[in-house]
Amino acid sequence: AWRLHRKLARKSVQFRKWATLLVVGVALSLLLETVFAIYAVFLAFQKADFNEITYELTAFLFNLKLEMAFRLSEVVHFLNGALLLLPLFAGLFTILQAHFQVSQKWATVHVIANQVVSEIYHFLGNVPPYNCGPGPNQRELMRRLQDMIKKLSNAGIEE
């Protein structure tokens, strides 16, 4: 029974990580979309002399020197593309969340892992329904654990 709990606890951690990753992906893409939209509006109000000013950017990465030159008109084109793609990424992450139901699966696995621990301690403490004797108590524990595994299967989760 403890092995079952350990498996479920590990699976719960995996589902929680995936759920967190998807939520962070949606939030990050929406945040970037908002920032880019605000910057695009700012640049739209500053339209004068876009093509005349060239900005130069230099960055040092370990032993490499990276140099880049760009104009604000090129930034506007980049922002327009980003404003088109970022909502698509947010929608994709949302669709993945809804399709795979990672949060619901995490909740199911987490609850059943805790129920397994509860059943083990009820069994060890000889409290009802485990107060009939060693043989019947073991059969009752196994039956209840199998019912929990069936609940996992009904939720679409492998043991």
- Kindly report the pTM of this predicted structure: 0.78
Q: What is the pLDDT of residue 50?
A: 62
CA distances from 75 to 28, 39, 41, 104 (A): 20, 10, 12, 41
Residue 47, pLDDT score: 73
Residue 51 reports pLDDT greater than 80: no
Task: Please state the φ and ψ torsions of residue 95, each to the nearest 5 degrees.
Answer: -65, -40
Question: Residue range 49-78: average pLDDT?
Answer: 84
Contacts of 155 (CB under 8 A, 6+ apart): 104, 105, 108
